[in-house]
Structures are given as structure tokens and as C-alpha cells.
Structure 1
Amino acid sequence: MDSLLVNNFIQKYRKELGWTQSDLARQAGLSRQLIHAVEGGRSKPGIEVALRLARALKCTVEELFPLPEEWQLQSWPGLEEGRCQLARVRDQWYAIPCGDAGSFDLADAVVEKTGTELHIQPMQPLGHLPDSVVICGCDPGLAIAARMAELESKGSARPLWRSVSSSESLRRLAAGQCHLAGVHYSGQSGSLNVEKVRAFGLPFEYDLIPFASWEQGIMVAAGNPRGIREVEDLLRDDIRFANREPGSAHYSMLEMLLAAKGRGVPAETPLTVRSHGAGAQLVASGVVDAALGLRAVARPYGLDFVPLLEGHFDLVLPRDLRSHNPVGTFLDTLASLPCRRQIAQLPGYATA
């Protein structure tokens, strides 16, 4: 990937020392204007300038100015033309699509397409970006925790939450594309998270961190005009139903509940959605009569809710990432009383 910027980590090392650009200029015997241009990635330093900067910042030239192959960006699943955010998981940098179609998250890069190839152009050197913790999982309470963690860190640790199913979260965690993955598999007698994660076969040691419990069920229009009372009603000929994708936790829940009644999930469903919010939007707009989801998601859309099971949402954390500072910041926020109280106020929620 060709970049319009000269990537560097000058700002990172400078801020660790508590220096301004003027401070660095004095220590390195260079002009502040030159520091500004090189740090901003708009000027390629010569050998003498690079050596002076490295000596002043007490690091190596290689640490300040990594070779292009050492910071090459990989595309996250679903990356297309448009805007993206950049984050490092272990030693690999990823270009992550900005939220959903309605997201106005600040982007770190733009993605352009030439033929079948995507070209990722950072807007600033990677060394300017805050350390990130990438979180996958479909619990909307994660949005609250992510925002609180960012505020408490004063912007030094940036949580990037992406709402994807439990199975997809585990796939991305196994591939090294995120730091934390959320799961909420449920059985008739309680949570199946431990069994499901073990059966997935993650290629590293991990811990399960309890996050919250919630009401899982069927989101229906206000007043429940179609008279949907139980899971079998979703199979009625007069019901338009938006299913979740096979392999997702809600699809597995539907499969289990119908099997207990001697029924099976339809081989084909006219509509399939990949998030609680997408299902709620379809019900609210009258496109479908029902969709699987959470009471906490149904309420803001003015929908009624038919409870089916209590779900338990856990976070899967690879043990080698526990010492990663943004991960620790996020976990500290999760354990804090203000965060737990905020999440417990969501309809149908209880903190773990």
C-alpha cells in the first residue's frame, strides 16, 4: 500500500516524555517548523535529522520510522470504499469500517477502490492515533461501556465496538482481528457460553468475563397486533418474520426452542438481519411483523416485546492481551459502579 504520508511514531515518544514540539526541537537541535513537518508526515527526514530525533527521544530510528512492510494495513471483514478507523491488534494494523451505514464516527483513513483492489490512505501517521481496544459483540450495552472507557482515559485509550453476532465475534477473535469477543449462547437451563466457546477451539488460552444478563425474545409492533405469544407463532403463514443469520446466538436459540416443540427452523426465510437494531427497524417500519432481539432494543423503537429466555453475555479475553493498556482500561470501566449502574438501567438488563 502506498501512503501519502511518511509514517512515524514521533508524537507517541514525544508525549511519553511530556514534551511539546518546541521541547523536542531544543533537545534535538532542530527547528520547531521541521519537527512539525516531519511529525505530521509531510516531510521525509534525512539521515542526520532521523538520528537527532531518535537520540533525543531515547529510541532507535527503526522505532521512529518503521518500514512500510512493518505497518502495512490489513482489511477487516466487510471493508469497502469510504471511511474507516485504524487499530493495532497485537502486531498487526487493521482498517476497520466505520460503524454501520448511519455512523458518523471520526475516520482515521479513507478507502478508495481501483478495479478489485482497495487502497487505504491514512489521514495522519499511525503514531498519532491513540491505542485502541477492538471489541466485537452484539450487546448494545457495550456502546455505553466503550464511551465511558474513552472518557475516563481522556482519549488515550480508544474502544472501537462493532456489533456482530457471537459466532462472528469468535471468528474475528481467533483470526486476531479484535481484542475482545462477546458471546451470548443460551439453553433451556441457562448459559451455554462456556461450552460453545470451548467447542469453537480458540488457538490460545482465554478467560470468560461476565458482562450482563438480558431478556431475549421477539420484538413486535406496539400493541402486538398480530397476536404473537410464543415461538411457534413465528412459523404462521400470516406472519412476516426477520430471522438472524445461521450460526448466530439468536438463530441457535430459535433452533433450540422450536426443536423442543418438535418443529424446525424454516429452510428459507425471506429476510435475514445481522443485528438487533436492524430487526427492530424492520418491525418499526412495518416491513415485518416480528424479529428476534432484546427488550432493551425494542423499547427505543416503540415496540412491544415477547420474552423467551434470559440470556447471559460474556466477553472472551485472550490471556496474552490482558496486559494491553487499552484492554485494562476497558475492563476497569466495566467493573466500575458508574458503568454497572448505567447498564443496569437498560430495559430488561442486569449487570453480571
Structure 2
Amino acid sequence: MENKSLTPQEVAEILKISKCTVYELIKRKDLNGYRVGNKVRVDMLDVEEYKNKSKSIKTKKSGNPEQAQPERAAAAELDSNRDDRRESFTICGQDSLLDILCRHLGRHPRGVPALRSYESSYNALYSLYRGDANVAAAHIWDGKTGDYNIPYVERMLPGIPSVIIRLAARMQGIYVLKGNPRKISGFEDLGRKNISIINREPGSGSRILLDEYLKKLGISISKIKGYENESNSPMGLTSAIAKGHADMAVGLELPFLKIRQIDFIPAHKEYYDVVIKKAHIDQPIYQAILDIMKSEDFKMEMHGINGYDLTDCGKIIAET
């Protein structure tokens, strides 16, 4: 058997369980998993080992009906389409601020240890819609309205009343080589034939921002050199530019990106928000999240991360 590397979603489809349950199995060390950058991966051989291990347990127990019944019940529960919030709580999004939120949530009197799903903004909202995540974080700009997140929440969670809570404001911009030898000043420079780009993955806030600007500027992606070249992390973008593989990329202004070989051109203020289904907002764990986001302890820890405006952190921005 080929030992392919699988995503949690692919593992979930093989085992006929939810993606949240896959993360829970990895967390409990029932299933081996590992990280590639900020993504979780599982080898096919480990999935087969997990399946065989489960089969051997059932076979061993099957001689005694009274013993076998709990095993069958556990398997049925695992394979059912139940709400995984009963046994796991998942916050979906890529920013390190969510790691800080999870840490505080694990210590809060009404909180729980939370799982992290490192998905792009678009996929985070989709996971919330599917019930694979309890909380989604997003920074998606709608070029038509000029609003952040609200139009996408309304479209991607149809018929599901939701609450959008501000986490932070921050700056999106353009990475270029130190000294800006190509004299790049904004998104419009992508219309120049001699400019190449390294892109973020589809569904990320930075990718959607770029695509919206290209649409407004009337620049066809087919004319952009390197548009199809992608990286799943800001460090991948800056590395490609530093090595001469691209002239520019769109990403966040962050302290760790201020490396000697790269300059940052501010271009667009964006908003990073947390999205929760309104039906859940009064439950203790969600109230704990609101408490944490408004707390001075949380804000003080975030103040150590330059480039984030926390003025409205914890404020309910909209209800859809």
C-alpha cells in the first residue's frame, strides 16, 4: 500500500467520521498525526493501523455479548453524525492570536481545552456552517460593499443567525525585496508585464483581498506572472521574494516578517473577527470566550504582538 499523506478531511472521509473527531483522535494519541508547517497530516499506514487496531478490539470482545455491547455502542457513536461539541471544542482559523485565545479558554472557569483547526478564512466559515467547528475566525474583504466578513457570513451561513465579534484590526500590504528595486507601489503594479508574484492559497483572506482588487482594477489573473504559485504561510511568501523567485506578495504586517531582505508597503486596513452561531452565544463556554476577549489579561498579552489594533476587541460588530 502506498503510504500517502492525508489531510484530516480525507481521514474523516475514509473513516466516515467528522473532521473534529479526527482532531480528537490525534489529540488523544489514538491516531498518529504530524505537522507540515501549520497543517496537520496523517499517513495512510497510520489510518490502516488505527482501523486494524479497532477491528482487533472488537474481535477480542465479540465472544461475550455483554462485553461486546459497549464496543459496538462506542463505534456507533464514533461513526454517527452526532454533534462533536459534546466531546470537543474546535476554534478554526490560522492566526496565532487564536492560539492565545485557546490557552486562555483552557484556564477559564467556564472554559474547556480547545482544539485548533488551522484553516483559511473561507474554509473556517464553511467548517462552522458544516458543524465541524464551534468558532470560526475570518478576515475576508468584500470589494463590492467595502465591508469585512459580514457579507461572507451572510452568504456562507445561509439561514443561520450568527454573531460577529471583533478580534483585532491590522494592516495588509505588499512584500517586496529590500529597497524595492522594481519600484512597486500598489496592487495596480500587477498590471505590469515585468512583475511576478507569489500567492497565498485559495480561501485565505490575503488571496481574497488580492482577487477583489484585481477585479476592481480590471487586471486579468491570466496576465499575472506567477499567480498560480502558492504558499500557505507568510514566511513562504517572504522567502520566495528574498530568493528572487517573485517580485511581490500580499500579506500581513507582522514583526517576524521584518527581516533584512524584505520591505513592507502598507496597502489596506483589515479586520479580523470571530464568528459564533447565535443559538450558542448564551452557553457558558461562548460567554467565556467573550469574557476573555474583553479581559485586560488577554489584551495585555496581545499588546505584545505589534501591528494589531485591539481597540474594539470583544465588541459585537454585527448579528446576521
Paired with 1:284 and 1:328, the residues of 2 have a C-alpha distance of: 44
Match of 1:311 among 233, 258, 270: 270
Partner SS state of residue 211, structure 1: strand
Residues 342 and 238 (structure 1), Cα distance of their counterparts in 2 relative to 1, 3 Å cut: farther
Residues 324 and 155 (structure 1), Cα distance of their counterparts in 2 relative to 1, 3 Å cut: closer
**Partner residue of 2:44?**
113
With the length of structure 1 as denominator, give the TM-score of the two structures: 0.60
**Partner residue of 1:134?**
90
Q: Which runs of 5+ in 2 are unaligned?
A: 1-14, 55-73, 75-85, 313-320
Whether 1:228 aligns to 2:170 is no
Q: CA deviation at 1:266?
A: 3.2
**Partner residue of 2:308?**
349
Match of 2:230 among 272, 276, 282: 272
Paired with 1:317 and 1:328, the residues of 2 have a C-alpha distance of: 11
Partner SS state of residue 198, structure 2: strand
**Partner residue of 1:165?**
120
CA displacement 1:311-344 (0-9 Å, x = unmatched): 1111110133335554443332222112123324
Larger helix proportion of the pair: 2
Paired with 1:131 and 1:115, the residues of 2 have a C-alpha distance of: 23
Paired with 1:329 and 1:183, the residues of 2 have a C-alpha distance of: 20
Q: Which amino acid aligns with 1:159?
A: A
Q: Which amino acid aligns with 1:113?
A: M
Paired with 1:186 and 1:218, the residues of 2 have a C-alpha distance of: 16
Q: CA deviation at 1:290?
A: 2.5
Q: Which runs of 5+ in 1 are unaligned?
A: 1-71, 88-93
Greater Cα offset, 173-182 or 192-201: 192-201
Paired with 2:239 and 2:110, the residues of 1 have a C-alpha distance of: 32
**Partner residue of 1:282?**
240
Number of residue equivalences: 261
Whether 1:294 aligns to 2:225 is no
Q: CA deviation at 1:117?
A: 5.4
Residues 319 and 264 (structure 1), Cα distance of their counterparts in 2 relative to 1, 3 Å cut: same
CA contact 1:216–1:294 (8 Å) conserved in 2: yes
Whether 1:211 aligns to 2:153 is no
CA displacement 1:38-71 (0-9 Å, x = unmatched): xxxxxxxxxxxxxxxxxxxxxxxxxxxxxxxxxx
* Bigger Rg, structure 1 or 2: 1
Paired with 1:154 and 1:269, the residues of 2 have a C-alpha distance of: 47
Q: CA deviation at 1:157?
A: 1.9
Residues 205 and 306 (structure 1), Cα distance of their counterparts in 2 relative to 1, 3 Å cut: same
Residues 323 and 73 (structure 1), Cα distance of their counterparts in 2 relative to 1, 3 Å cut: farther
Whether 1:178 aligns to 2:136 is no
With the length of structure 2 as denominator, give the TM-score of the two structures: 0.65
Partner SS state of residue 221, structure 2: coil
Paired with 1:96 and 1:194, the residues of 2 have a C-alpha distance of: 38
Paired with 1:95 and 1:76, the residues of 2 have a C-alpha distance of: 13
Q: Which amino acid aligns with 2:164?
A: L
Paired with 1:138 and 1:292, the residues of 2 have a C-alpha distance of: 16
Q: CA deviation at 1:295?
A: 0.1
CA contact 2:111–2:284 (8 Å) conserved in 1: no
CA contact 2:90–2:135 (8 Å) conserved in 1: yes
Whether 1:74 aligns to 2:33 is no
Q: Which amino acid aligns with 1:119?
A: Y
Paired with 1:172 and 1:96, the residues of 2 have a C-alpha distance of: 23
**Partner residue of 1:332?**
291
Q: Which amino acid aligns with 1:85?
A: K
Match of 1:101 among 15, 22, 36: 36
Q: CA deviation at 1:204?
A: 2.8
Paired with 1:221 and 1:335, the residues of 2 have a C-alpha distance of: 38
Paired with 1:103 and 1:284, the residues of 2 have a C-alpha distance of: 21
Indicate the percent of aligned positions where both proteins have the same amino acid. Answer: 25
Residues 326 and 309 (structure 1), Cα distance of their counterparts in 2 relative to 1, 3 Å cut: same
Q: CA deviation at 1:156?
A: 6.8
Larger strand proportion of the pair: 1
Paired with 1:246 and 1:166, the residues of 2 have a C-alpha distance of: 10
**Partner residue of 1:7?**
none
Paired with 1:211 and 1:295, the residues of 2 have a C-alpha distance of: 16
Paired with 1:118 and 1:193, the residues of 2 have a C-alpha distance of: 41
**Higher relative contact order, structure no. (Cα contacts within 8 Å, ≥ 6 residues apart):** 2
Paired with 1:259 and 1:139, the residues of 2 have a C-alpha distance of: 26
CA RMSD of aligned residues (A): 4.1
